[in-house]
């Protein structure tokens, strides 16, 4: 691996252990659950008797979360080894890497669109009409939920890339 | 690993205390929503078991079997956080009281800790 390294500093050694990889996957699931429950909490609060205003969470608020989750599904269901195999003589020279990159781009676009959409919903539905805070919390929770789903996806991606180095070290 | 009789007795005591806390948190306020925590924590180790059985441990070089194990771990992390987040959600939305939330969280963590330590104590003898 060191022959085609990208960054100047080497990756720290503790990042390559199998324990870090396992806990990274657990952490990713935990972050996803935290994000989802932030938003479910906001949705439940908006229909509970403690909600003073008559603003409720509708289907519009759910759309960014659905986009983020779909994007996370797409990004993490791609086999990472297909991405690097476009150098002419490898087994996936027949355009598989190109297709994988296209699908990966769609996944990242869905995730970024989800985050941007949550900010849009917050601004247009809650900030512009100038609601006070218990109502503004619905929009803030939406942004937090989408950010946490994106963070969970990043953690899952990093820990699945750890796996490659780990198995590579085992193979030598 | 010498997991003797004392370990089993201690674990069952902790499990009983955990169930006591969860059932009290429901029964004291006549509101049985915190019982969902028990279902969550019982579901939490299940994806690991299923996916560990689905994947073949012999070919660890194969990445597809690793992906199946990863799905199980992801779901486990999801369920564990869900068991904590669900009572907080209920308490925030006024469905249950705050003391019921604390009791059900502590009870759920005790139940889950019992399941985990039981698996850790008695799994290694089967494997090797």
CA A41 centroid distance within chain: 20
A95: alpha, beta or left? (left if phi > 0; alpha if psi -120 to 50):
left
User: Does A168 fall in a domain?
Assistant: no
Q: pLDDT tens for residues A96-155?
A: 777 888 888 999 999 999 999 999 999 998 888 888 888 888 899 999 999 999 999 999
User: Does B61 fall in a domain?
Assistant: no
User: Does the pLDDT of residue A30 top 90, yes or no?
Assistant: yes
User: Does B110 fall in a domain?
Assistant: yes
- State how far the Cα of A78 lies from the Cα of B23, in Å rounded to an integer: 44
Q: Which residues of B touch A25 (CB under 8 A)?
A: 70, 73-74, 77
Q: Tell me the CA distances in angstroms from A163 to A5, A18, A50, one per residue in order.
A: 16, 8, 47
User: Does A116 fall in a domain?
Assistant: yes
- State how far the Cα of B59 lies from the Cα of B128, in Å rounded to an integer: 18
pLDDT at A34: 93
pLDDT-based confidence at A1, cuts 50/70/90?
Answer: very low
pLDDT at A110: 93
pLDDT-based confidence at A28, cuts 50/70/90?
Answer: very high
pLDDT at A36: 93
pLDDT-based confidence at A163, cuts 50/70/90?
Answer: low
Q: Is the ipTM of this complex over 0.90?
A: no
- For the record, the structure tokens of B121 come out as 């104590």
User: Does the pLDDT of residue A59 top 80, yes or no?
Assistant: yes
Q: pLDDT tens for residues B78-107?
A: 998 998 999 999 888 888 888 899 999 999
Residues in chain B: 128
pLDDT-based confidence at A6, cuts 50/70/90?
Answer: low
pLDDT at A84: 67
User: Does B128 fall in a domain?
Assistant: no
Give the DSSP per-residue string, B74-112: HHHHHHHHHHHHHHHHHHHTTSS-HHHHHHHHHHHHHHH
Instruction: Provide, rounded to the nearest whole percent, the portion of chain A with pLDDT above 90.
Output: 35
Which has more pLDDT, B77 or A162? B77
Q: How many domains does chain A have?
A: 1
Q: Which residues of A touch B60 (CB under 8 A)?
A: 167, 170
Instruction: Outline where B1-62 has alpha helix (H).
Output: 5-27, 36-43, 46-54
Smallest CA-to-CA distance from A73 within A156, A171, A166 is with: A156
CA dihedral B102, B105, B110, B113 (to 10 degrees): -150
Contact A25 B75 (CB under 8 A): no
| Pick from B74, B86, B92: CB nearest A29 | B74
pLDDT at A167: 54
Decide if B8 touches A, using CB distance below 8 A: no
Contacts of residue A142, defined as CB under 8 A and 6 or more positions apart, other chains included, come to A39, A42, A61, A64, A65, A118, A121, A122
Mean pLDDT by 10 residues, chain B (128 residues): 76 91 89 86 84 66 66 89 90 87 90 84 59
Around Cβ A7, how many Cβ atoms within 10 Å?
6
**Averaged pLDDT, A68-88:** 77
Decide if B79 touches A, using CB distance below 8 A: yes
Structural domain span for residue B50: 5-55+66-121
User: Does B60 fall in a domain?
Assistant: no
Q: pLDDT tens for residues A67-76?
A: 999 999 998 8
Contacts of residue A81, defined as CB under 8 A and 6 or more positions apart, other chains included, come to A164, B63
Q: How many domains does chain B have?
A: 1
What does the DSSP 8-state code read for residue A17? S
User: Does A2 fall in a domain?
Assistant: no
User: Does B28 fall in a domain?
Assistant: yes
pLDDT at B128: 44
Q: State chain A's mean pLDDT as an integer.
A: 81
User: Does A72 fall in a domain?
Assistant: yes
| pTM for this model (two decimals) | 0.82
Q: Which residues of B touch A160 (CB under 8 A)?
A: 70
User: Does B84 fall in a domain?
Assistant: yes
pLDDT at A170: 54
Contacts of residue A164, defined as CB under 8 A and 6 or more positions apart, other chains included, come to A80, A81
Q: Which residues of B touch A48 (CB under 8 A)?
A: 93-95
Structural domain span for residue A110: 23-160
């Amino acid at each position: 691996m060191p022959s085609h390294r990208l960054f100047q500093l080497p990756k720290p050694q503790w990042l390559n252990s199998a324990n870090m990889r396992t806990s990274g996957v657990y952490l990713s699931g935990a972050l996803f659950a935290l994000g989802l429950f932030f938003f479910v909490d906001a949705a439940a609060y908006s229909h509970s008797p403690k909600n003073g205003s008559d603003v409720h969470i509708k289907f519009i608020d759910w759309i960014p979360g659905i986009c983020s989750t779909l994007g996370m599904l797409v990004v993490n269901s791609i086999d990472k080894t297909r991405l690097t195999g476009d150098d002419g003589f490898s087994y996936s020279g027949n355009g598989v890497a190109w297709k994988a990159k296209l699908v990966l781009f769609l996944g990242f676009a869905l995730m970024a669109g989800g985050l941007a959409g949550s900010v849009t919903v917050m601004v247009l539905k809650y900030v512009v009409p100038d609601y006070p805070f218990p109502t503004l919390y619905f929009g803030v929770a939406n942004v937090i939920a989408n950010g946490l789903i994106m963070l969970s996806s990043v953690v899952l991606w990093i820990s699945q890339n750890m796996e490659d180095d780990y198995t590579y070290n085992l193979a030598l | 690993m010498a997991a003797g009789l004392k370990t089993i007795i201690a674990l069952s005591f902790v499990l009983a205390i955990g169930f006591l806390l969860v059932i009290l948190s429901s029964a004291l306020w006549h509101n049985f929503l915190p019982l969902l925590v028990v279902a969550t924590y019982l579901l939490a180790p299940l994806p690991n078991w299923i996916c560990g059985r689905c994947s073949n441990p012999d070919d660890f070089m194969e990445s597809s079997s690793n992906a199946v194990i990863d799905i199980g771990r992801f779901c486990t992390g999801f369920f564990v956080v869900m068991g904590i987040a669900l009572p907080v959600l209920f308490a925030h939305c006024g469905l249950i009281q705050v003391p019921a939330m604390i009791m059900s969280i502590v009870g759920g963590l005790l139940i889950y800790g019992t399941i985990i330590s039981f698996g850790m104590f008695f799994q290694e003898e089967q494997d090797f």
